[in-house]
Amino acid sequence: MRDSAPTLTGNTVRGNSVSVSGSYTTPSGLGGAIYSRSSDPWLERNVISDNVVSGHLNSDARGGAMYVYYGDPVLLNNTFSDNRTENGSGVYQTSEGGGLYIYYASPVLVNTILWNNEPEEIWINAGSSPQVTAITYSDVRGGRTGIVSDNPAAIDWLEGNIDADPLFVDPAAGEYALQAGSPAIDAGAAYFELGGEILLDLSPEDYVGPAPDIGALEFGSIGASPPAGSPGEASRISAGAQPLVVNAFDPATGEVSITFAPACGATDHVAYSGDLSSVASLDWNGATCGLGNDGAATVFVGEGSRFFVVVGHDDAVEGSYGRTSAAAERPEAEALATCDLPQRLADTCD
């Protein structure tokens, strides 16, 4: 992303690799999962894991999960784990920021897990600039010492942070839900403001227990799948399940390979998509019909920056498109394709 302010919510980004070689400059390929340049993205409840940046001759491998190059990102309830940067062939390489690499930027991290990223969780290159990384109610391996910076003043280590194994269910299998007894359960914040700006304001209905959890996946929560149900309200899956996973994207064709948890009661699924510039209003302008019901499909979302959702139907009515972070039903698409069916939200299914 560049010169933009997108919102990324509820995604899993896993298993990507980037290789850089032959330049000490800042190529656009840095960042194993996300490269943010002069942008102010809003990331909420994303799991970003097992991504890698490899540096070869005369190159800098930075930002195994995310590279932030200028800008003011807001990261709420995300999980960054098992990402890394590494040196490959040749000489004169650097390897920095297995989780996050921050270059003259001012991100804010709230209720976020950074665990088992190598060689360190966060690397901050701030120089003498006034940019500051603010971290609160987050679980960072190594605590403040898990963060490397050329300027200690660039770290605003606020209240509520912990350094404790979050006890993921099965990270080797990509399961980053929390086990019972995790120190991240009920350890987050429901409200946070910085510099007079409210960045987080959750109601008790938004989490389970006395306080929100740290990390992307709330322990004991019931989420939408994929997110959609049919017939009726968003179908429900067990806590910690991954409703939608993007496995690969081909920018030449605009095709995305996905796996998803089929909606309860559904006989088929549809992917509705729209331009990322209209994600706030959720204006749908594309559809891929006939995804089937086995939980794996290839979706055509088109060129450029796009967003999409998978919706289940039973050949008569379709279910929910999921809910926004404010718990409001997302609007349905209308007359986009022959597979666009009337929506029914009166019932629920398990």
Backbone dihedral region of 29: left (phi > 0), alpha (psi from -120 to 50 degrees) or beta?
alpha
The pLDDT confidence band at residue 228, using thresholds 50, 70 and 90, is very low
* Model confidence at 23: pLDDT above 80: no
Q: Rounded distance, CA 161 to CA 144, Å?
A: 9
Class of domain 223-313: mainly beta
Decide which of 254 and 124 is more confident.
Answer: 124
Tokens read off for 95: 């390897």
Task: Write out the DSSP string of 276-288.
Answer: GGGTTTT---EEE
Domain ranges of the chain: 7-206, 223-313
Q: Rounded distance, CA 315 to CA 268, Å?
A: 7
Residue given tokens 């032959």 in the structure block: 22
Max CA separation in the chain (angstroms): 63
| R_g over Cα of the chain | 20
* Model confidence at 337: pLDDT above 90: no
Strand partners, 54: 19, 86
Strand partners, 2: 37
Q: Rounded distance, CA 250 to CA 248, Å?
A: 7
Q: Rounded distance, CA 118 to CA 95, Å?
A: 9
Does this model's pTM top 0.75? My answer is no
Name the CA dihedral angle for 113, 116, 117, 123, rounded to a multiple of 10 degrees.
Answer: 70
* pLDDT tens, position by position, 26-82: 444 578 899 999 999 999 999 999 999 887 666 678 888 999 999 999 999 999 999
Cβ contacts of 302 within 8 Å, gap of 6 or more: 254, 273, 286
Q: What is the pLDDT of residue 26?
A: 47
Question: Among 162-171, 186-195, 320-329, which is the least confidently predicted range?
Answer: 320-329
